[in-house]
Amino acid sequence: MAARNCLKFLLGHEARTLDAVDPTATVLDYLRLEERRTGTKEGCAEGDCGACTVVVARPSPEGGLRYQAVNACIQPLGTLDGAQLITVEDLAAADGTLHPVQQAMVDCHGSQCGFCTPGFVMSLFAMTKEGFPPETDDQAIDEILAGNLCRCTGYAPIARAAHGLAAMEITDGFDARREETQAALAAMDDGADVSLTEDETRWFHAPASADGLAELMLQYPDATIVAGATDVGLWLTKHLMRPDPLIWLGRARDLATIEETTTDITIGAGVTYSDALAHLSWTWPDFGAVVRRIGSTQIRNAGTIGGNVANGSPIGDTPPMLIALGARLHLRQGRIRRVIPIEDFFIDYGKQDRAPGEFVEAVTIPRPAPGQIFKAYKLSKRFDQDISAVMGAFSLFVDEGRIVTARVAFGGMAGTPKRSPSAEAALTGHTLEKSAFETAMRALAIDFKPLTDMRASAAYRLKAAQNMLMRVFIEVTDEDAATRLWDKRGIDDAGL
Amino acid sequence: MPASDLAVHRSTIHESAARHVTGTAPYIDDLPELPGTLHIAFGLAQRAHARIVAMDLSAVRDFPGVVLVLTGADMPPDVDISPVHAHDEPILATDVVEFHGHPIFAVAAATRDAARRAARLAKVTYEDMDAHIDIEAARPKGRTVVTPMTLNRGDAPAALSTAPHVIAGRCAVGGQEHFYLESQIAMAIPGEGGEIKVLSSTQHPTEIQHMVAEALGVALHLVTVEMRRMGGGFGGKETSGNVFACIAALVARKTGRPAKFRPDRDDDMIVTGKRHDFVIDYRVGFDDDGMVLGIEGTFAARCGWSADLSGPITDRALFHADNAYYYPAARFVSLPLKTNTVSNCAFRGFGGPQGVVLAERVMDEIAYALGLDPLEVRLRNLYGTDTRNVTPYHQTVEDNVAPRLMTELADKADYAARKARIREANAKSPVIRRGIALTPVKFGISFTATQYNQAGALVHVYTDGSIMLNHGGTEMGQGLHVKVGQVVAAEFGLDIGAVRITATDTSKVPNTSATAASSGSDLNGMAAQAAARQIRERLTAFAAERWQVAADSVKFENGTVTVGGETLSFADFVKRAYNARVQLSASGFYKTPKIHWDRAAGRGRPFYYYAYGAACAEVAVDTLTGEYRVLRVDILHDVGKSLNPAIDIGQIEGGFVQGMGWLTTEELWWDGQGRLRTHAPSTYKIPACGDRPLHFEVALLENQANVEETIHRSKAVGEPPFMLAFSVLHAMSDAIASVADYRLCPRLDAPATPERVLNTIEALRARAK
C-alpha cells in the first residue's frame, strides 16, 4: 500500500487534514501559531511544567475511547494521526456553561495567576473521562497532577477541586458525541503507512507495522526513532535539532503489545509506561512503584519502556531494574532478530549495541521465581517527576536463608546503567546477615566512581547507593521496620 | 458611612477565574500579533568573566528571516537600566562580559524560530578574566555592589563578653529561581510621532516606562506601558523585565515594526536574577533561661554582577534578622558582594526570609545548648508588648500578636503531645525519623524606600451604573484586582460584578510604584477608595440638594440608593446625577503615614505595621538517603480583618509551599565555569503537587483588626506566609537531631536537599561520637 501523505486528526470535533507538515513541528506550536488556540500555554517546552497539557483521545482496544493527557510542547505534530486532540477551549459548552472540571477549579479558588490552569484543567479532565481511581486519596491525586507545576497556589485548592471531582458523576459534551467521535476516528483508521513532509526535504514517517518499521530502518539506517518523544521532543525544542527522517512507532500496533506467559512478560517497544504499569505493578510491586514516579502522567502516557532502554541514558529508571531482573532485549534489523541480555546493550556512555538500521523491538522480563526478592529504589531531589540521582535495583535469590545469587544494578553511578560485580560477590553465598551487606556496601566503591553534577555529588551518590543496600537488608530481615516514606507505616500516629 | 459588607470581607472569586479555566484570559504571548511583528532572541556570553576580543555575527545576520542584529555598540551611549540608577547595568554587554549568560547581542527575525536559531550562530572570542562565582570566592576581594548597612542597638560586643553562654556559628541559605509559569515577555508597538506602546509582563509598568524612555532617549510622555496580567511574578518581574522591554522597544524603533521578545525558559532562567543566597556568620550570647542577651551577625550575599535591588534586599535581611524575637543588644552588618553571576533581584520576602534564617537557627542553637524545647526558647524570646519591644533598627513594635498566635497554634496543633509521641516512635524506628517544629513570622510592611509608599487610582462611573476601575497595582495572580474591586464596590454599595478592572496603564495612572513589598492592596486599595469616595461625596451632595435631605441620610446599599424615602437603582440614580452635571470620574491618591527611615543612622520607622503568623510542621526523614516528606502543617496567620479570606488563604498556602521549596528541593547549581546548570524545570525542582503537606490546615487569626488605619483594617499577605516554611526546615532539624539523641544542634543549612540532609545526619553522628 502506498503511504498516505497527509495528517488526519480531529481538533475538538472538527476534522483536520494537513497535507504539509513540518516533521519537527510540535503540537503546541501548531495550536498556538497555526490554529491560534492560545489557551494552551508554553511554560518550559520540555515536558516538565504541564502548562501545555492537552488531551488526546484514541479508540481503546477494549472499545470506546481512551483519553490521555500529554505535553503538547514536546509532541511532534505527526503523532496526532488518527486521534482527537482536545484543548481547554473545547471544554465549556457552547452557551459558555463551564465544564464540571472548570467549575470545580473556580469554586475551589484553584487558579491564581492562571497560567498553569489550563494544564491542570486538562489533566483533571482526562481523569474524569478515564475514571478516577477507586477511593481517590491524596496520593492518587498527586500522581494525576505530578506533571502540572503551579507556583502560586501550593496545590491545596487544586487538590480540593480534584477530590470534589472524584466524588462526582460527570457526563459531558464528549459523552454526548462519543459515537460521532468514534465514527470519525474509525474513518481515519486506514491502516496505511504515513509519510509527512512540509517541503519534501525532511520527513516524518509513521509505519503501520513492525515490518514497515524494519523496512524503513533498512532504507534509513540512521533515522531517529521516536516513540513517546519525551526525550527526542527536547532535541527539537531545546537543541533546535531537526533529525531527519523521524520515524514514529505510534502507528505500529504490533509493537504496542504486552505478552504474558507463565515464565515472563514481553513488552513491545511501543508500549507506554502507563500501559505497562498495571502488568509490572502486579508482577513486581517495586518496579511499579518506580514507574509510577517516572516523569508524570503526561510523560508516562507518551513515553515507552522501549525508548527508556533504547536511548541508552545512564540515568534512565527502568534499565537498572531490567538488568537486575535479568531481562532480555529483542533487537531487529530487517528480518534478522537477536536477543541479548539487556545489560549487554549498554556498552558505554552514548554507545549501545545497536547496529545501523537495527531497532529495539521488545523487552522480556522474567516473572518472579521462588525465593526471589526484588527491591528497587529511586532517589531524586524531588519525589515526583524528577530524574534520579541514583537508581538502585536488587534481585536476590534466597534459599534457606542463604543468598544463592545476587544481581545489583545501579543507574546514575556510571556512564551506563550497570551491575556491581563486587557487591554481588560480597553477597553471594552468605546468609542474610548485616556483615555481608556491609561488605557489599564497601564493595560498591570498587565498581563505581560516580560523577558530581547538579543532581548530586559523587560522594552522596556513593553513600546513598551503599545505604540502599542497607535498606535491602533491613527490609528483608525486619518486617516491622518502617523504611519507606510513602508507606503509611511509621507515620500512622502522626495524627493525620 | 460604613462600607457595605456586600463587597468586602467576603471570599469573592478571582476576577479572572472563569477566564483562567477556559483559556480565555490572554497573556501577552496570546494576543494577536500585528502584521510584520518581529521576534527577538538573545545571544548569550559563554564565559563568566571575560573580555570580548572579537565577535563575528555574520552568520547570525545572514540567517534567513533575520532583520536586525543589535549589539552593545548599537545602544545609545551612556544608557543604563539600573533600577537604582547605580549606572552599572548597560542593556547589552560590550567589552566585558560579567556572567555566563550575559546578553551580548539581540537578534530580531520574522519568526521566533528563526531568531533563536540565528542567535546560536555567533562566533565570539574571549579573553578570560578572574571570575568570582560564589560568596566565598568573592569575600576576599570584598567588592560590594552597594554600600553595606549596619544596624546597631545596645552594645552587642559588651553583651557577648559578659553572657553566661556564647555560641558562634555560620549558617547558609541558597538562592531561588522565581519560576513564574509565564516567562518574561515584552511587545513593543511603534506609534506616531515617536510614541511607543509597550506591553510588558511586569510588576512595575512605570519603571518599564522609565527604562524604555531612557533607552530610546525620549520623554516619558511618548512611552505607554500596559500590563493586564502576569503569569506569576513573585518579585521576578519587578526589575527583570526591563532588558526585554528595552530591547523590544529599540527593535521597534529601529525597524518601525512591532517587536516581541519572549525568551525560552532556559534563557529566562539564565538571564534573569534570582533570590540571593546568603552566608551568615553569627555570635549569640544568652543566659541560663535561654534568653538572648546579645547577638552579632554578618550577612554576606551573592548579589551578582550589578546592584539591581541588592541594596534594599540585603537591608531587609537585616531588618528581619530578629524575626519575632527581642534582642537586647544587636549588631548586624550586610555584605552585598559582587559576583560573576546573574544579578540577583527581588523575590517574595525581599531578603527578609534570609534574615529569618539567622533568628531561627539561633533559637535552635540555644535550645540544644540548654536542653530546652525549641518552642519554649522561641516563646521566651518573643517581643513583649510594653517592654522588650524595640527592634535592632529602633522601631517600637506596637502590634505584637506573635505570643497569642504561637500559643493558640501550639494548642490547636497539639504540639506537646505529638512531640512526645514522635520521640517515642523515633526511638523504635531504625530508618524513618519524624520531627516537629513550630515557628513564628513577623514581617514589616512598607517599602523601606519611603517614596515608593504612594499610589494612585482612577474610577469612572458610567451612566448605566457600571464602574471602570484602574489603579497602579499589577495583577500577577495574587488577587489584587478583585480586592481593590471589592473596595470600590463597597463604597457604592454595589456587588463586585458592577466593577470592571482594566489593564494597568501608565497613561491612566502615572508615576506608580512596583506592585511589591506585599503593599498592593494596602496602597492601591486606599487610593481606589479615595477616588470612589470623591465620586460618592459628589453624588451624596447632589442627592442632598435634589431631595433636600441631610447628606448622612443618603444610603448606598445593595445596588440601590436610598434618599428622602425614595429608593432608586444605582443606575437610575447615576443617570439623574449625570443629567444634573455631576462629575462621575475621579482619581485617588494615597501615601502611607508615619514611616521614615535613615539608612546611614540605621534608625527610624521603616514599617507602618507588622504582619504575623505561625506554623507547626511535622516531617518524616529517611536517615539512609536524606529524603523526606512533609506530613502535617497547621498554620495560624494574621491578615487583620481580611478583605477576602479565600484570596488570603490562597496566598498563605501558596506562599508556604513556595517557601518550603526554597528551603528544601530548590537548589541552584553552578559548575566550575560559572555556568548555571539548573536552568529548566528538569533540573530545578520546585514543589510538585505531591510535596504539599499531606495534612494542610490554614486558619486566619480571628478578631484581629489591624491597629493601623489600613484599608478596611486588613493586612498585607503577599510575602509574610513565605516564612512560615521555616517550620519545615526546623522540623527536619528536629528529626535529624534524633540520630544524636537530641543532644546536638543539627545546624541544617538550606536548601535541605536529600543530600544536605544526609550530610547533616552523617556530620551529627560524627560529632556525637
DSSP H helices in A189-253 = 210-219, 232-237
What's the rounded Cα separation, in Å, for the pair B377 and B365?
10
Q: Are B303 and B362 in contact (CB under 8 A)?
A: no
What grid cell was written down for B320?
528581619
What's the rounded Cα separation, in Å, for the pair B373 and B315?
31
What grid cell was written down for A258?
504486552
What's the rounded Cα separation, in Å, for the pair B204 and B183?
16
Q: What pLDDT shows up at residue A134?
A: 80
What grid cell was written down for A3?
503511504
Which residue of the set B226, B365, B666, B719 is catalytic?
A: B719
What's the rounded Cα separation, in Å, for the pair A60 and A66?
5
3-state SS assignment for residue B724: helix
Report the residue from B13, B178, B182 with minimal CB separation from A106.
Answer: B13
Q: For A413-458, how does the pLDDT look when each residue is reduced to its tens digit (9 = 90+)?
A: 999 999 999 999 999 999 999 999 999 999 999 999 999 999 999 9
Report the residue from A112, A386, A490 with minimal CB separation from B654.
Answer: A112
What's the rounded Cα separation, in Å, for the pair B563 and B150?
59
The phi, psi pair for B399, rounded to 5°, reads: -130, 30
What's the rounded Cα separation, in Å, for the pair B744 and B740?
7
Residues B397 and B496 in one domain: no
Give the burial class of A72: count Cβ atoms within 10 A of its Cβ; 0-12 exposed, 13-18 middle, 19 or more buried.
buried
Q: Would you tell me how many other CB atoms lie within 10 Å of the CB of residue A272? A: 22
Dump the DSSP string for B211-243: HHHHHHT--GGGEEEEE---S--TTTTTSTTHH
Q: Would you tell me how many other CB atoms lie within 10 Å of the CB of residue B162? A: 12
* Cα three-residue angle A18-B21-B266, rounded to 5 degrees: 70
Using alpha carbons, select from B311, B31, B359 the residue that is nearest to residue B173: B359
Q: Buried b / exposed e across B6-15, counting CB within 10 Å, b at 16+?
A: bbbbeebbbb
pLDDT mean for each 10 residues of chain A (496 residues): 91 98 98 98 98 97 93 98 98 97 98 98 97 86 96 98 95 96 96 96 98 98 97 96 97 96 97 95 95 97 97 95 98 98 97 97 97 98 96 97 97 97 98 97 98 98 98 95 82 58
Q: Are B440 and B402 in contact (CB under 8 A)?
A: yes
- Residues near A483 by Cβ (< 8 Å), separated by ≥ 6? A471, A474, A475, B431, B432, B622, B624
The minimum CA-CA distance between A315 and chain B, rounded to whole Å, is 13
- Residues near B597 by Cβ (< 8 Å), separated by ≥ 6? B448, B450, B604, B605, B606
Report the residue from B120, B680, B685 with minimal CB separation from A386.
Answer: B685
Q: Which residue in the block uniquely carries the three cell numbers 509527512?
A: A196
In chain A, % helix, strand, coil (3-state, to 5) comes to 35, 20, 45
**Whole-Å CA distances, A46 to A120, B483, B586, B651, B665:** 17, 35, 48, 28, 20
For the question of residue B627 being annotated catalytic, the response is: no
Q: Are A308 and A319 in contact (CB under 8 A)?
A: yes
Domain final residue pick, B591, B616, B642: B591
Q: How many domains does chain B have?
A: 3
**Cα dihedral sign, B85-B228-A106-B262:** negative
DSSP B194: G
Q: Where are the beta strands (DSSP E) in A194-335?
A: 194-197, 203-206, 224-226, 246-248, 258-260, 264-268, 328-333
| Residue type present at position B459 | V
A-chain residue closest to B672, CA distance: A453
Residues B372 and B313 in one domain: yes
Domain final residue pick, B234, B262, B290: B262
Dump the DSSP string for B11-29: -PPPTTHHHHHHT-S--GG
Q: Are A427 and A403 in contact (CB under 8 A)?
A: yes
Residues B76 and B91 in one domain: yes
Residues B582 and B615 in one domain: no
Do the chains contact at B17 and A111, CB–CB below 8 Å? yes
Does residue B535 lie within any of the structural domains?
A: yes
Give the CATH number, domain containing residue B470. Answer: 3.30.365.10
What's the rounded Cα separation, in Å, for the pair A69 and A67?
7
Percentage with pLDDT > 70 across chain A: 98
Residues B91 and B220 in one domain: yes
Using alpha carbons, select from B358, B339, B204 the residue that is nearest to residue B276: B339
The phi, psi pair for B403, rounded to 5°, reads: -60, -45
How many residues are recorded in chain B? 769
Topology at the third CATH level for domain A253-366: 3.30.465
What's the rounded Cα separation, in Å, for the pair A381 and A429?
35
| Terminal Cα-to-Cα distance of chain A (whole angstroms) | 62
Residues B93 and B193 in one domain: yes
Residues B394 and B363 in one domain: yes
Do the chains contact at B431 and A471, CB–CB below 8 Å? yes
Give the CATH number, domain containing residue B213. Answer: 3.90.1170.50
Residues B41 and B57 in one domain: yes
Residues B435 and B467 in one domain: no
CATH of A7-89+177-248, one of 3.40.50.720, 2.40.30.170, 3.30.360.10, 3.10.20.30: 3.10.20.30
Does residue B544 lie within any of the structural domains?
A: yes
* Cα three-residue angle B212-B215-B218, rounded to 5 degrees: 75
Does residue B269 lie within any of the structural domains?
A: no
With an 8 Å Cβ cutoff, is A485 touching chain B?
yes
With an 8 Å Cβ cutoff, is A455 touching chain B?
yes
Q: What pLDDT shows up at residue A2?
A: 80
Residues B325 and B375 in one domain: yes
Q: Are B724 and B614 in contact (CB under 8 A)?
A: yes
What's the rounded Cα separation, in Å, for the pair B226 and B187?
10
Domain final residue pick, B591, B613, B646: B591
Q: Which residue in the block uniquely carries the three cell numbers 517527576?
A: A385
Does residue B169 lie within any of the structural domains?
A: no
Is CATH 3.20.20.70 the classification given to domain A372-477?
A: no
What's the rounded Cα separation, in Å, for the pair B52 and B103?
12
- Identify the helix (H) or strand (E) that includes residue A108: none
Q: What are the residue boundaries of the structural domains of chain A, listed by start? A: 7-89+177-248, 92-171, 253-366, 372-477
What's the rounded Cα separation, in Å, for the pair A468 and A320?
14
Long-range contacts at B415-418 (CB < 8 A, ≥ 24 apart): B415/B375, B415/B616, B418/A494, B418/A495, B418/B618
**Cα dihedral sign, B382-B387-B389-B391:** negative
DSSP H helices in A332-457 = 342-345, 421-427, 434-447
Topology at the third CATH level for domain A92-171: DNA polymerase; domain 1 (1.10.150)
- Per CB-CB distance under 8 Å, the chain B contacts of A105 are 17, 20-21
Q: For B294-339, how does the pLDDT look when each residue is reduced to its tens digit (9 = 90+)?
A: 999 999 999 999 999 999 999 999 999 999 999 999 999 999 999 9
Q: Which residue in the block uniquely carries the three cell numbers 546548570?
A: B677
Do the chains contact at A379 and B232, CB–CB below 8 Å? no
Report the residue from A238, A382, A386 with minimal CB separation from B266.
Answer: A238
Do the chains contact at B477 and A113, CB–CB below 8 Å? yes
* Cα three-residue angle B660-B665-B669, rounded to 5 degrees: 130
In chain B, % helix, strand, coil (3-state, to 5) comes to 35, 25, 40
Q: Which residue in the block uniquely carries the three cell numbers 545489560?
A: A343
Does residue B175 lie within any of the structural domains?
A: no
Residues B582 and B621 in one domain: no
What's the rounded Cα separation, in Å, for the pair A149 and A44?
10
Does residue B12 lie within any of the structural domains?
A: no
The minimum CA-CA distance between A456 and chain B, rounded to whole Å, is 7
Q: For B559-601, how does the pLDDT look when each residue is reduced to its tens digit (9 = 90+)?
A: 999 999 999 999 999 999 999 999 999 999 999 999 999 999 9
Which of B15, B16, B20 to mutate: most A Cβ within 10 Å? B20
* Cα three-residue angle B419-B174-B668, rounded to 5 degrees: 120
With an 8 Å Cβ cutoff, is A46 touching chain B?
yes
Residues B563 and B512 in one domain: yes
**Cα dihedral sign, A476-A479-A482-A488:** positive
Does residue B387 lie within any of the structural domains?
A: yes
Q: Are B514 and B452 in contact (CB under 8 A)?
A: yes
B-chain residue closest to A106, CA distance: B17
The range of the structural domain enclosing residue B472 comes to 17-25+454-591
Q: Which residue in the block uniquely carries the three cell numbers 513583649?
A: B384
* Segments in chain B below pLDDT 50: 1-4
- Per CB-CB distance under 8 Å, the chain B contacts of A482 are 429, 431-432
